[in-house]
Amino acid sequence: IKGIVAASPEMLAICRTIEKVAPTDVTTLITGETGTGKELLARALHDRSPRSEKPFAAINCAAIPENLLESELFGFEKGSFTGATQAKKGKIESANGGTLFLDEIGDMPMALQAKLLRFLQERVVDRVGSVNPIPVDVRVVCATHRNVQELVDQGEFREDLYYRIAEITLNVPALRERNGDALVIARSLLKRLGTDMDRPNLCFAEDAVQAINGYHWPGNVREMINKIKRAIIMADGKRVSADDLQLEQSDDDHTNQLNLRQVREKAERGAIVQALQNTGFNMSRASRLLGVTRPTLYNLTDKYRIETSTPVSTS
């Protein structure tokens, strides 16, 4: 899927779901921490749908003041309020035929939730200051970093709206929960950003690889982009070091994460080697035995430097 870099089973499952959901018009809710790439997934749903040639209109419900959000979403008629010198379409109308992406839907004020619910039920827009409903044909994708079920329980989000926007829910795991993805994404970013910043052909030194794998990534991919941009600027020569990345963590955290990572990687490497040996080093059969795709298995054998044509030792 365009723009999505992943090798972990968790994200590959998300990608498979997108491929199935994209051709439909079901309203989709994408949840996950800030910086996990929710808008990227929303665009993937749009790009792989029959609506891909039509507009993709995005609005951040948390970034616009409550008194302006209604007119931004639904539009307004001339003279409907002070300063409304001419009529204007809202984001919903602008997305007609395409996809409307409502980011941070969990922060939408209760008063607007009722109006959004009516739109989702009736598929008509009521501009501010108008009594004439306007039919609109859009696919709606929503996203939030908040737990919407908790908001419903606390009375901060309408339960009926929640069920309307969550016909399909995609729960995007945090980067720290995506086994092996941190290094794969970091290398992809280093290649792309290095080219954009006129520093191509950079690579990570071994201490940088260990730092990337051991870091918690609280800001997810968004934080990684910032760290790698800095590293590209600060790197001497062609190798990016751990010092260039400046991934701060306590010594205790680093030791614990490193030990856990070593245990996991030793088990993963051993399983891959055993599968290869049991299948006579047939990558297709080994991938089926392990329950992963062939591209994932190739990525893992590269990661652990496992020879794929002759027997190897697990020691």
- What are the residue boundaries of the structural domains of the chain, listed by start? 9-173, 187-249, 253-315
Pick the range with the lowest mean pLDDT from 105-114, 167-176, 243-252. Answer: 243-252
Q: What is the mean pLDDT of residues 61-84?
A: 83
Q: Token pair for residue 307? A: 């020879």
User: What's the distance, CA 225 to chain centroid?
Assistant: 14
Report how far residue 310's alpha carbon sits from residue 312's, in angstroms, rounded to the nearest whole number.
Answer: 6
**Span 253-315: which CATH code?**
1.10.10.60
What is residue 294's predicted lDDT score, i.e. its pLDDT? 86
* Count of C-beta atoms within a 10 Å radius of residue 238: 12
As its CATH architecture, domain 187-249 has Orthogonal Bundle (1.10)
Cα-Cα end-to-end distance for the chain? 37
What is residue 248's predicted lDDT score, i.e. its pLDDT? 75
Give the type of residue at 192.
R
Pick the range with the lowest mean pLDDT from 17-21, 120-124, 246-250, 255-259. Answer: 255-259
What's the predicted TM-score (pTM) here?
A: 0.75
**pLDDT surpasses 80 at 36:** yes
Q: What is the mean pLDDT of residues 69-81?
A: 82
Average pLDDT, the chain: 88
Report how far residue 310's alpha carbon sits from residue 295's, in angstroms, rounded to the nearest whole number.
Answer: 19
Quickly state the pLDDT bin for 302 (edges 50, 70, 90).
Answer: confident
Q: How far is CA 69 from CA 34, 38, 131, 136, 152, in A?
A: 21, 21, 19, 18, 21
As its CATH architecture, domain 9-173 has 3-Layer(aba) Sandwich (3.40)
Quickly state the pLDDT bin for 280 (edges 50, 70, 90).
Answer: confident
